[in-house]
Amino acid sequence: MTEGNFVDYLKVYASSGKGGGGSTHLHREKYITKGGPDGGDGGRGGHIIVRANPNLWTLFHLKFNKHFRAEHGGHGAKSRSTGKDGEDVYIEVPLGTIIRDGETQEILFEITSENTEQILLEGGKGGLGNWNFRSSTNQTPRYAQPGIDGKEGWFQLELKLLADVGLVGFPNAGKSTLLSVLTAAKPKIADYAFTTLKPNLGIVQYRDFQTFVIADIPGIIEGAAEGKGLGHRFLRHIERNSILLFLIPADSDNIEKEYEILINELRQHNPELLDKNRLLAISKSDMLDEELKEEIKKVLPKGIKTIFISSIAQQGLTELKDLLWKLLHE
């Protein structure tokens, strides 16, 4: 998936169908005088329904199709015939999508599991035909109910990626390279900062045909939670991850300080992120010999499991996958 095709936020307009009106028909048949009322009820208007689609990873398919209008209900007819219900319209979204009211920003619901369907807007109810209003004192009612109008409005769709592992690090820490080596994903890789402009997903193949999903978000810099850089916009994508994998390159001036900066940015964005399982990987460690690794181990952050890896030299990747799998199934 190219960066331009990744869409994680947009607004859509939806309008449910109007209910059909009831009928005021009076029965007419040969040899039957004063047949009385037999007007049927109107059909309901079509719903606007949001449906989960596990085959989607982004909201790109809605980028150029933002207006959804359901069909109106049919009017009632003679012989107490009910009008046709309006056809429902489905908006398919990937798992992890949040639907908000476009004006109040209130969260209406979230789509987090397969086979989930939520009615966004209910269609208008059909009106009652005159047959419903007959009585001993009003044997020939010549009126019926109109259908109830449908609802309409703007809604905000916001995607939070559902991944098992989220990669967290500064720009040029080697996140995209690691993703390209562990998975079949093809993220953009270059030797300058902010190469990754949009999140990338990849599926890691593990032993016995087991898999797990890993997500790479743009690099975080100090002050990201306050709006600096790109990371603050995409930090929400790691809110649903089970594990946070911190990547800090071996040539960093101060590994412990960089780790604390990353932790602080996550804390400012959402303190609950710090409750997740964490793992620290020292990337680009093919530049280190055993003596240097021992020196670095003395200044590593406390209280977090650390592993030395190299994506280019394929060092420590099997151990990394073993650690991630173990953490996922604790």
Q: What is the pLDDT of residues 104-124, one digit of tens each?
A: 999 999 998 888 999 999 999
Question: Does residue 68 contact residue 10 with C-beta atoms inside 8 Å?
Answer: no
Question: What's the pLDDT score for residue 92?
Answer: 95
Q: Which residue type, as a one-letter code, is found at position 133? A: F
270 a known binding residue? no
For residue 16, what are the CA distances in angstroms to 3, 10, 35, 85, 298? 33, 20, 36, 12, 63
Q: Which domains does the chain have, with CATH numbers?
A: 1-160 (2.70.210.12), 165-329 (3.40.50.300)
223 a known binding residue? no
Name the helix (H) or strand (E) containing 52. strand 48-52
311 a known binding residue? yes
95 a known binding residue? no
180 a known binding residue? no
Q: Which residue type, as a one-letter code, is found at position 304? A: I
219 a known binding residue? yes
Question: What's the pLDDT score for residue 217?
Answer: 78
4 a known binding residue? no
Joined tokens for residue 126: 């059909």
171 a known binding residue? yes
Q: Which of 34-38, 192-196, 264-268 has the lowest mean pLDDT?
A: 192-196
Beta bridge partners of 245: 167, 279
User: Which segments within 178-328 are labelled E, that is strand?
Assistant: 200-205, 211-216, 243-249, 277-283, 305-308
Question: Does residue 47 contact residue 124 with C-beta atoms inside 8 Å?
Answer: no
pLDDT band at 254 (very low <50, low <70, confident <90, very high): confident
User: Cα angle vertex 206, ends 203, 208, to 5°?
Assistant: 130
Strands 165-169 and 243-249: parallel
Question: Does residue 107 contact residue 98 with C-beta atoms inside 8 Å?
Answer: yes
Per-residue pLDDT at 282 exceeds 70: yes
Question: What's the pLDDT score for residue 194?
Answer: 55
Name the helix (H) or strand (E) containing 244. strand 243-249
166 a known binding residue? no
169 a known binding residue? yes
Torsion (CA) 226, 111, 66, 85 in degrees, nearest 10:
-150
Per-residue pLDDT at 53 exceeds 90: yes
Q: State percent of the chain over pLDDT 90.
A: 36
147 a known binding residue? no
- Which is nearest to 262 in space by CA: 233, 291, 232? 232
Question: What's the pLDDT score for residue 228?
Answer: 59
253 a known binding residue? no
Question: Does residue 120 contact residue 14 with C-beta atoms inside 8 Å?
Answer: yes
Per-residue pLDDT at 74 exceeds 90: yes
Question: Does residue 168 contact residue 162 with C-beta atoms inside 8 Å?
Answer: no
195 a known binding residue? yes
pLDDT band at 96 (very low <50, low <70, confident <90, very high): confident
DSSP string covering 120-142: EEPPPPPPPPGGGG--SS-SS--
Question: Does residue 61 contact residue 55 with C-beta atoms inside 8 Å?
Answer: no
For residue 254, what are the CA distances in angstroms to 108, 130, 167, 282, 296? 44, 81, 19, 12, 10
Residue 258's Cβ-side half-sphere holds a number of Cα atoms within 13 Å equal to: 24
Q: How far is CA 110 from the centre of its chain?
A: 8
Between 297 and 88, whose confidence is greater? 88
Q: What's the full length of the chain, in residues?
A: 330
On average, the pLDDT of the chain sits at: 86
pTM, rounded to two decimals: 0.75
Furthest CA-CA distance within the chain: 109
Q: What are phi and psi of 165, to 5 degrees?
A: -130, 135
62 a known binding residue? no
209 a known binding residue? no
Strands 305-308 and 67-69: unpaired
283 a known binding residue? yes
33 a known binding residue? no
Between 17 and 273, whose confidence is greater? 17
pLDDT band at 73 (very low <50, low <70, confident <90, very high): very high
218 a known binding residue? yes
Question: What's the pLDDT score for residue 129?
Answer: 93
